[in-house]
Each structure stands twice: as C-alpha cells, then as structure tokens.
Amino acid sequence: MLELLVQTGLNALYSASYISLVAVGLVLIFGVMGIVNFAHGELFMVGAYVVVALYSQNEVPFVLTVAIGLIFVGCIGLLMERTMFRPLRDNPLGGLVASIGFLMILQALASMTFGVRMAFVPPVTQDVIEFTDKIRLPVQRLYVIIAAFGFLTALWLFLTRTRFGWALRASAQDPEAASLQGISITQTARIAMFIGAGLAGVAGALTAPLISVNPHMGHSVIIAAFIVVIVGGVGSLEGAVVASAAYAIVHTFVTTFYDGVLADITGLLLMLIVLIIKPTGLFGTADRA
C-alpha cells in the first residue's frame, strides 16, 4: 500500500509539473493583460505538434525540438497580442471571444496538416528508474519534472530579479501607475504573451511522447489549468504552482483508486469548495481579483 501511495505521488508530481507550466502562463497573461486566453490549451497542443513535425517526422533531436517549441509557440503568442489583444485592449470580453475563435483556427490547422487521428511520437528514452519493484519512474517523466522545475525557477528569477520582471509585476498590479513609471503597456503585454504562450508550448512539447497527441488535446489541459488558476487565486503565480500540485495530487489519486471521470468531477468539486470557503482563491487578494 505504501508503495502504491509513493508511486501515485510520483505520478502526481509529473502531472503537476506540466499543468503548472500551462497554468502559470495563463495567470501571467491574465495578470498583465486582463484577458482570459481560451486558446491556451491549443498553444499546448501546438507545442506537441512541433514535436510531431520535427522530432517524429524529421528526426530533429528532442531537446532542440523542445527549444523550438518554446520559441515557435511564444511567437504565436506575440502574433495573438498584435492581431487580437492589442486592438481589443479596452474590451476584455472581445479578447476572450477572439481567443475562442483563434482556438478553433489552431485546431483546424492542426487537423488539416496532421489529420485528426492520434499522432505517433516515438519515446525519447525507454529507461525507467526502479526504486523498488513497484515504485518506478520512467526517465521521460523525470525529464518533464526537471524541465518544469527549471522553467518555473527561471521565471521566478526573471520576475523578482530583473527590471523587466518588476515591470511585468508592476503592470499586473496597476497598469496605469506602471505607465507613469515609463513602463510601456504594449511592451509588457508582449513579454507576457511570449512567456505565457512559450511555457504552454514547452509543456506540450515535453509531454508529447507521453500523452496522446491530437488536435483536441488542449481541452483537458485547459480545464485543469482553469481549475488551478481559480483555486490558486486569479492573478497569483505562486498560487498557480501550489494549486497545480494540489490538483494533480487529488486528480491522480482519484484516478488511480477510482477512475478518471470521478477524478474530473473531484477536481471541479475542489474548485467549488475553495470558492465557497475563500472566494478569492488560496493566494488571491480581493483588490487584485
């Protein structure tokens, strides 16, 4: 029993890793631009298809593919900022609707290019770390965990140690006061979109060999990410990471001991309970929500 718990804990750690990458990006974009990016799950999907196109079909080294996924999807983020969110800056609802339209475009493009069936991605490595007979951690999953940890640490250092990091946080907290310090709202929006989208892309690329890659794979991720963002407190990056861990633990344990559908329901229940007890989320504050 103890072994099963430890094994499930490891599985949860893996889920928490990539969900937090997606959720943190979502929070960053909402914080800086005030826009709920519904296409965020599809950015995750595009990241996975970068791996299909380069690594599966053209044998580009996996690490390089992940880096390209980060940059390519980051650039899609820049495109979204320029073509949708900037013209709709004074209209957050318009931004939301535009992002739903963009989601459909990305799904259609993926279907037209790669087909609607699951795409095959060969494993990067078959190695498994065996702690005991029953506690095993595939090295591929370990890579995802390490990479997520690395990216989140880098993001944290960027936000707390650099002047553009301060600028980003300042304009998330008070865009008008930030502009009075010489911080350009357009520039912070661009940075937030590149980082937010890039992290979703990197999460998709990293997990591509481990999950089923298809044009509609964004759905499950975006639901998880939304739950995490609400539980953690809208606008709180720390909250998003902590809530990712909490969500992944609950979801993985319920999946393991009962089944996946019940796990989804439990996830939503978790959100409901947090909203009843603390409507601003675990780390949220009323003045920022």
Partner 1 sequence: MLLEVKAASVDFGRISAIRNVSINVEEGSVVTIIGGNGAGKSTTLRAISGLAKLSAGEILFEGERIDHLPPDKIVGKGIAHVPEGRRVFPDLTVEENLRTGAFLRRDKDAVETDLTAVFKRFPRLKERRGQRAKTMSGGEQQMLAIGRALMAKPRVLLMDEPSMGLAPVIVEEIAKIIEEIHAQGVTVVLVEQNAELALELADYAYVLETGDLALEGPAKELHDNEHVRAAYLGI
Please state the closest distance from residue 188 (CB atom) to partner 1, in A: 10
262: amino acid identity, one letter? L
Q: Which is nearer to partner 1, 102 or 283 (CB)?
A: 283
- Rounded to the nearest 10°, the torsion over CA 202, 208, 211, 214 is 100
Q: What is the DSSP letter of 116?
A: S
Q: Which of 183, 193, 243, 274 binds partner 1 (CB under 8 A)?
A: 183
Interface with partner 1 by CB under 8 A: which range of 146-154, 180-188, 219-227, 258-266? 180-188
184 contributes a contact to partner 1 by CB under 8 A: yes
- Return d(Cα 232, Cα 235) in angstroms, integer: 9
Q: What is the DSSP letter of 162?
A: S
Draw the binding track, 136-165, toward partner 1 (x: CB under 8 A; -: no contact): ---------------------------x--
β-strand partners of 213: 119
Cβ proximity of 48 and 213 under 8 Å = yes
212 contributes a contact to partner 1 by CB under 8 A: no
- Rounded to the nearest 10°, the torsion over CA 85, 86, 89, 94 is -40
CA distances to 89, 127, 288 from 33, rounded to whole Å, are 8, 42, 13
82 contributes a contact to partner 1 by CB under 8 A: no
Interface with partner 1 by CB under 8 A: which range of 1-9, 17-25, 70-78, 182-190? 182-190
Please state the closest distance from residue 84 (CB atom) to partner 1, in A: 20
CA-closest candidate to residue 148, choices 24, 6, 239, 43: 24
Dig out the tokens for 277 from the structure: 């007890």
- Give the interface size with partner 1 as a residue count (CB under 8 A): 20
CA-closest candidate to residue 23, choices 271, 275, 234, 264: 234
Q: Which of 58, 90, 276, 287 binds partner 1 (CB under 8 A)?
A: 287
Q: Which is nearer to partner 1, 103 or 168 (CB)?
A: 168
Please state the closest distance from residue 168 (CB atom) to partner 1, in A: 10
170 contributes a contact to partner 1 by CB under 8 A: yes
Interface with partner 1 by CB under 8 A: which range of 44-52, 100-108, 138-146, 181-189? 181-189
User: Phi, psi at residue 136, to the nearest 5°?
Assistant: -130, 140
User: Contact positions toward partner 1, by CB under 8 A?
Assistant: 163, 166-167, 169-170, 173-174, 176-185, 285, 287-288
